[in-house]
Structure 1
């Protein structure tokens, strides 16, 4: 293009790569090497098919190999990458694989003996960048049930939420934190970030009021739920193959919409027997896919919250479509 386009020096050449063959970052870097100065990329490599090139991969390639790329400058605060990756993962419901470059949970993990010995002798033996350079410092235990509101607010600021919330919202989050601290022996940074994301203000058509479930014989379970709906408070019950299945069926009965569950995953956000469980799922409605996520120390409740979150996304989309038509 440069050789055959007169005046190309007056334009910025952009590159847009997908990862169908695992070469999105390599192709993007090759384009940069030959003159491209704009890379279209996404956080965590999200995108069509196998995804777009990940912004964290391109930027850290340029940073760690700056001599090869003639010291090209990228004005991005790389210390925010890990935090940003986790936020995008939680909001989209798309989990980051542990072995994902730069931001995966195992990106800086060393298990084999020879690796550990090399790391203790010289960290540069196996790491071409430091965990701190991408904001992947070791997660520490920070707060517990005896921590006060001031300590909680101060830690919110340390986590980067210093301009996000009003005093009223901080009080609400602190109350949620105390509830969580009563259930968990230790509260980690990831727990607090998940708590904040879970309780960000947004319009909700449905909200969980209460839920109960009990196990029967041969794996069957009974569940009943009560929700605030656009038509007032409603309740229903269902029987299913386990408490999660029964609870989601009960919610579906209350909602009364032909929603099809396409994918469901549950994972622990932090370590320990009392870890927060994060449920992520995909549902289909009218040919469209909607994501939902929920967190709780009770995986059944986190699953119900995720399902309700997806239903609220459907209602929000319907409302936006109606506004566009009007």
Structure 2
């Protein structure tokens, strides 16, 4: 029993020793190839340029290798939140000032803002608000309470995979820039330095573009974007009528009063329209009378005097006869 066990232990030890030697040989051969490639790139400019261009795929392969070994898992998700609210407010400037107060109290800030008037004279304001994710839902509720909510659109986009991908690419690109700089420090020929400087500029530009993309993702996920549209109510919209007896009486009284006002208005308009013609007619009558008085009428006939009556001569009274 002891003899086979001892033999098995010796066989296992021999296999382990062979594996260690094989790993050591592989690592030694890799290190030798890298050092010879570096020396050759410094010695020959054309070969250095070819190696520099071929280094990007190797970096990508290294990055994919790192992902295959284990993609970094973030402790939280990255979500881009956007919302659009359309609110009808009686006083748009007051509602706009209150929205600024609500956002600043939540730790956010006000972005772009624009105000305009439509053809009917109603005021419209559009403002972009940046809100922290912690107070996002509460601020949306407060903004909807500024007036009558007409429209609400909310969107949430998960960009965690983009954040992980950009961080991995930035890490690989930084390592690539460091390797090119090490080659520049070891270069001795001017042509090699010029070639490596061009390659370094290209990789540095790619790194800056990735860092800008990372900053944009950080800003979008760090603050939610809320677009608030405030508008005044339409004055032509008829208010909702209340039901009930007194409401009907009030509606009838209001309708009668409105009819009376309309009638008086029509009469006043008719009188105003006829007034110029009445004035002209009155002036014509006055002128006609004035001209008639100046010309005078036909001569009146002389009065006819009746002749005096003929009287008989006076006679003596008769004497009474005796």
Q: Same fold (TM over 0.5)?
A: no
Structure possessing the higher relative contact order (Cα contacts under 8 Å, 6 or more residues apart): 2
- TM-score range relative to shorter protein: under 0.3
Would you tell me which structure has more helix in proportion to its own residues? 2
* Larger gyration radius, structure 1 or structure 2: 2
TM-score, normalization by structure 1: 0.18
TM-score, normalization by structure 2: 0.18
Would you tell me which structure has more strand in proportion to its own residues? 1
